[in-house]
Amino acid sequence: MRVLRGAPAAEAGQWLQGRAGAWATVGGVVGLGFEAYARILHPVPARRLSWDDPGAGMVPRVVEEREWSWAEVADAVGGVMHPRVQWYAMTGDEDLVRLDDGWEVGQTRDGWLDPRLWAALVPHLLRAGPSEAMLGIWTGWGELHPAGRHVVIATRGDDAAAGSVPDLPRLAPDVVDAIARGDVADVPGFDGTGREYLMLAGELSELADPDWGFEAGIGWWGSFREPGPQFVWPTDHAWAVATEIDLDSTLVAGSRALVDEVLADATFEAFEVGPTDPVGIDGDSVNRSGPGVG
């Protein structure tokens, strides 16, 4: 992927700016005027602990680790699943949910859709528009500004540099240059004022590889596959995908056929939503008086 430079980057998000809906709504994040919308909930990490055989320092032993769906959490805490469900309203806790059987679940992952889920989303998007796509990565990700850390400058195909120190973050030279120049775009954001995004352009099919970010040189290193894109859209603007940095879900906007495919794909825990539906922490009126919420 290549970094957009100068005017193209500054203009990249203008089409979406013109379609921004009300603050803290679906349309305020991913734009108005699409035929249909889906909300993909981000899976939550979970681990089961046991004190039967504690490790050194009298800490509990981790018996099992896996991701939980929100539906599993709802079953465990007596919450209700619905399109506007919010983690805090359902669980009464912004941090971990601790269950009597030893499971600790959460915190939800805001602003990041697992690259494995992105890989599953790509085939649906490729059927809905051109393969050339624009990506917007929030400039606030620390991996793009590794002050005080060593950075290996490596470009695609530079196997020697990329492989010599595999556990350090890598930024491609054009990414470093673009950040230094301030080649960023403004697009609608959950904060109501818009955020700045480093813009990349490339083939959407690249995101079908969960390791795509290593070659793109955007700061991925070791086992850390972040930052991820906050916005992706095709050159014809037929659809848009938004993972707002403060949200625990990803929004897909596009044709009726595209959204139906996403909703039917069991890979995702997804709901259909509308452009005026709230997406903020107080948008869940069903679970507002649920467990632990006063």
The one-digit pLDDT tens for each residue of the chain (294 residues) are 666 666 677 778 888 888 999 988 999 999 999 999 999 999 999 998 887 766 666 677 888 899 999 999 999 999 999 999 999 899 887 678 889 888 999 888 899 999 999 999 999 999 998 999 999 999 889 888 766 454 555 444 444 344 444 556 678 887 888 877 878 888 876 655 668 888 888 899 999 999 999 888 898 988 889 999 999 999 999 999 999 999 999 999 999 999 999 999 999 999 999 999 999 888 999 997 554 443
The whole-model pTM stands at 0.88
Beta strands in the chain (DSSP E): 2-3, 36-41, 44-55, 59-68, 97-98, 103-105, 132-138, 184-187, 195-203, 231-234, 240-242, 249-254, 270-273
Asked if residues 217 and 154 have their Cβ atoms less than 8 Å apart, the reply is yes
Query: Per residue, what are the HEC states of 179-236?
Result: HHHCCEEEECCCCCCCEEEEEEEEEHHHHHCCCHHHHHCECCECCECCCCCCEEEECC
* Coil/strand/helix, residue 285: coil
Q: From CA 271, how far away is CA 288, in angstroms rounded?
A: 19
The secondary element (H helix, E strand) that includes residue 274 is none
Q: From CA 230, how far away is CA 111, in angstroms rounded?
A: 7
Q: Estimate to the nearest angstrom the gap between the alpha carbon of 264 and the chain centroid.
A: 20
